[in-house]
């Protein structure tokens, strides 16, 4: 993890990622399946481009649940990209292992998002998905908004795969709220659904607001 240490002295850099706080800019080496070569993923550059960032941590290449998750994510990649998000998968494997796994595992045939290499585990530790017993990352999904603020965090243990449909829903909700900060999205909200505007008039009247 290479951190950009140029920052306002009044801005505290957290020791660990916390929802609602700014994530410091950092860079990682990666394999880019779309280009077929190696590259660098730079959160500072993505922020300057006004991009959302989705970090999708998983335990290891050449394992079992992991390719099913990446295949599921690949199926939603285009939709997430249309929402302005850069999708980056992350494990503690090297960029060379990412390349070999992508070429060998047929489930990864449609993967086009960058596959980052957190070989030291530093990024995994910052996002609190590092498993000290195994030296692997847990299944963590993090959404960072264009201002660099962490707005969503999800962590699963090794044996439970995620659902990219829910990731899309959360990304849609967060993108909507970026443009409508005075509102809030209720449970199971999807685009076009009713939102809530918190205030004294809404206290005890959520049912009415959603069913009027």
Q: Which positions are annotated as active-site residues?
A: 66
Cβ-contact 42, 4 below 8 angstroms: no
Q: Position of tokens 């394999």?
A: 31
List the Cα angle 153/161/193 in 5-degree steps: 55
Angle between helices 164-179 and 65-82 (to 10 degrees): 30
- Asked if 33 and 102 count as a contact pair (C-beta separation under 8 A), the reply is yes
CA dist 185 and 138 (Å) reads 28
| Strand ranges (E), 68-113 | 85-91
* Length of the chain (residues): 212
């Amino acid at each position: 993890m290479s951190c950009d240490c140029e920052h306002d002295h009044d801005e505290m850099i957290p020791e660990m990622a916390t929802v609602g706080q700014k994530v410091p800019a950092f860079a990682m080496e990666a394999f880019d399946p779309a280009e077929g070569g190696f590259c660098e993923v730079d959160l500072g550059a993505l922020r300057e481009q006004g991009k959302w960032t989705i970090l999708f941590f998983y335990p290891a290449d050449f394992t079992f649940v992991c390719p099913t998750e990446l295949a599921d994510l690949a199926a939603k990649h285009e939709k997430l990209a249309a929402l302005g998000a850069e999708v980056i998968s992350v494990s503690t494997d090297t960029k060379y292992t990412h390349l070999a796994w992508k070429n060998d595992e047929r489930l990864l045939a449609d993967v086009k998002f960058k596959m980052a290499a957190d070989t030291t585990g530093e990024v995994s530790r910052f996002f609190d998905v590092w498993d000290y017993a195994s030296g692997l990352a847990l299944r963590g999904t993090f959404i960072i908004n264009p201002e660099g603020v962490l707005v969503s965090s999800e962590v699963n243990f090794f044996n439970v795969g995620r659902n990219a449909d829910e990731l899309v829903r959360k990304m849609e909700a967060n993108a909507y709220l970026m443009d409508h900060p005075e509102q809030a999205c209720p449970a199971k909200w999807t685009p076009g659904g009713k939102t809530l505007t918190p205030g004294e008039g809404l206290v005890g009247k959520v049912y009415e607001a959603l069913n009027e």
